Structure 1
Amino acid sequence: MAIEIKKASLASGPVAKHYACTSCGSVYQSFLSCVCPSCHSGVVRQRPLTPEEAHERVSYTHFKKPIERSSSPFSNVPDINAQEEYQQSQVIIDALSFSFKIKDLQHCSKSGKYSGFRFPEAPSMSEMNNFVARTENEADELAEFRKRLVTNYLEEVLRVFIKRVLGFSFGPLRGKGFQFYEDSFALFDDSGNDYCGQVGIGGNNETVHFQISGTGCKHLFTNRSRAFVHHWLADVLGISLLARCDLAFDDFDNLHTCEASERAYYFGGFNRNHGKCPKFKNGDEFSINSDGEKVFTMEARFIGSRQSLVYWRIYNKKLEQKITKDGFYWYRSEVELKKVSVDILLDIEGHFVGLNEYAASLPSKTIEPNLIKLTAKKRVACDVLHACFWAKRQYGRLVNSLLTLYKNDFEKVVTSLIRDDTNIGFTSMHQKLINELG
């Protein structure tokens, strides 16, 4: 009888077992141990499950009751309504530009565990470290493979950062760059209809540059709070200075007009605590009709210069948008700030009114000014100037002699003086001279 049962079980064929992938966590059935069908991890990363473990994953006893579930990591954090924050602020961000090292995207994978966003894991190089290249070609191919592996990982993190953190969609590479970047692609809103800016990649010391337009800033800050954006830029990516940040105040009461800003300029309303008085330019364009009245095609005042760190534009926004409704007024006072601290995102109204007396007179409510501090940047510049001053006094003649010896070949001069423990991309001239002595 036992022999008949054994024959019947063999006739029924092999039984599929449950396996769990330790890389991605997926559970599947297979007759033999094989690679993961989801992430294609190797056989060594597959673990067979007992019938009890397989049953636990589908049994209702595996799940906790609602009252026993752990609270959300954001349950103790006060919820900030980004749209309400945007609407209540009298000052808005109309343009935003920033850059960061592409390698700093690896920090997103670390913070993603606590932020609720799922970023791809960094590739493991431990297995490749055991591979020994036998020829120069193999070494080059291995280095190229590692570089391509890391590049693909960072590009995927960048995609998740744009879509999940910033809430944008993006288009394909356009084959043309901007701001000295080799290539770029456009940013759109989540529907893909409205153009929101562009991103430059490739070159420029391996950095990524974001240039978000006014439409993009509106989409960003109506869906993400400014504190949220500040956290990801400053704390995760390590950005300390924004390349550009435009702050704007809209007047619909016909009070802060172009003529009013011109009068404020004559009374020193645009002067800052330090520096000379900024330049003034009248940008009006108009024609005279049959009644002798001015018909404006452009009404604007410009204070400062495009090259300065602070540049003001006060203009008729209604005229720019070609709105013809009678009795409607729309004047915008906009300031373009360059190389400004990323902390401006935490208090845009305070930083705005702290610029000058004219900016302080615009909001209808009392706002405590928050002065923009660039002391850290100035301290670094002073340290560099101090070091260069003493280097010139001690080694200036030696550098001049080396320039004459090497016929103004700066690369040879630098490699002759640079330390041996410094990683550089070209052969040390000092080592060449040592070799020639032998």
Structure 2
Amino acid sequence: MTPQTLIDNKKPEQAVFIDFLAFTLSMSAFKDIHTYDKAGFEWRKYPAIPDPRRFKTEHFVNDSAGLTPEQANEYLSALTRCYFDRLRLFIADFFGLSMGVPRGRGGHFYDDSATLYSYEGSEDSLGTVYFGGNKDTVYIQISGKGCAHVFSYTTPMEIRNILNFLDITTLKRLDLATDDYTGIYTCQTALRDYKDDAFEGAMYFSFSFIAVMSCWLFSLGIGQLLHLIKRA
């Protein structure tokens, strides 16, 4: 199955790219996703939200009384399945990723999780979706390799637009990276700039709460790694 291409993938090379993305959203955020206004967006394939009246006894279907506990459980189960199906379609449509089967183990205070793969059939993990519990939210992590796949399929602006539509205004994690073929961005340069407060007052972000608690320069054979550790 090949996901529908929503945008023109021909875009200029960027000096800085997204290398890790993670965010949380409520399952109920998918209630109105079929109303998203985007050219080429196939809203019809999103399953309809269950009507609670369908779960009433036929004789009382037009009654104003609420559902019985048993009926309410059936309705909530159907609603959860619908949201989960919409979650799968959301990940496919906007990220070009396929959500694997539940693994039976969770993490990050969630009961279960599923691995994200590409639609091309690769078995390489490109991220993880955590779900179950935690106030009916979902936690989506997309790795560096996953981001390379995602942004060959779409653009950061497209992702921003759909996240805003779903009322996701805060990201749990966003890593930015760049390929340095000239030797300009070294660990020594980063440490020097940090000591000169170059990370203070950056546009849209504030690094005033970051301090170098420990600093290691590891020789990895292919480069070096500098750790700037956040003070709790």
TM over 0.5: yes
In 2: Cα distance, 1:151 partner to 1:174 partner: 18
In 2: Cα distance, 1:96 partner to 1:202 partner: 20
Deviation at 1:130, TM superposition (A): 5.7
Counterpart of 2:34, as a letter, is S
- Contact kept, 8 Å, 2:31 with 2:49, in 1: the verdict is yes
Aligned partner (choices 29, 36, 45) of residue 111 of structure 1: 36
More helix by share: 1
Runs of at least 5 residues in structure 2 that lack an aligned partner in the other structure: 1-5, 62-66
Tell whether 2:157 aligns with 1:227.
Answer: yes
Give the match's secondary structure for 1:84. Answer: coil
Q: Deviations over 1:133-172 (max 9, x none)?
A: 9xxxx93321111111111211111121122222101211
In 2: Cα distance, 1:93 partner to 1:145 partner: 41
Q: Pick 1 or 2: higher relative contact order, CA cutoff 8 A, min separation 6.
A: 2
- The within-5 A match list for 1:250-265 is 250-265=179-194
Specify whether residues 296 and 217 from structure 1 end up closer, same or farther in structure 2 by C-alpha distance, changes over 3 A only. Answer: closer
- The within-5 A match list for 1:29-428 is 81-85=8-12, 88-111=13-36, 115-117=41-43, 118-129=45-56, 131=58, 132=60, 139-193=68-122, 194-235=124-165, 237-272=166-201, 275=208, 278-279=211-212, 281-286=214-219, 299-305=224-230
Question: Alignment RMSD, CA only?
Answer: 2.8
Counterpart of 1:208, as a letter, is V
Identity within the alignment, %? 28
Number of residues paired by the alignment? 214
Specify whether residues 297 and 128 from structure 1 end up closer, same or farther in structure 2 by C-alpha distance, changes over 3 A only. Answer: closer
Deviation at 1:112, TM superposition (A): 7.2
- Contact kept, 8 Å, 2:210 with 2:231, in 1: the verdict is no
Specify whether residues 301 and 105 from structure 1 end up closer, same or farther in structure 2 by C-alpha distance, changes over 3 A only. Answer: same
For the pair shown, the structure with the greater C-alpha radius of gyration is: 1
Counterpart of 1:107, as a letter, is D
In 2: Cα distance, 1:189 partner to 1:252 partner: 29
Specify whether residues 95 and 83 from structure 1 end up closer, same or farther in structure 2 by C-alpha distance, changes over 3 A only. Answer: farther
Q: Deviations over 1:359-404 (max 9, x none)?
A: xxxxxxxxxxxxxxxxxxxxxxxxxxxxxxxxxxxxxxxxxxxxxx
- Contact kept, 8 Å, 2:210 with 2:230, in 1: the verdict is no
| TM-score normalised by length of structure 2 | 0.80
Q: Which residue in 2 is equivalent to 1:329?
A: none
Specify whether residues 129 and 187 from structure 1 end up closer, same or farther in structure 2 by C-alpha distance, changes over 3 A only. Answer: same
In 2: Cα distance, 1:281 partner to 1:250 partner: 25
Deviation at 1:200, TM superposition (A): 0.5
Q: Which residue in 1 is equivalent to 2:3?
A: none
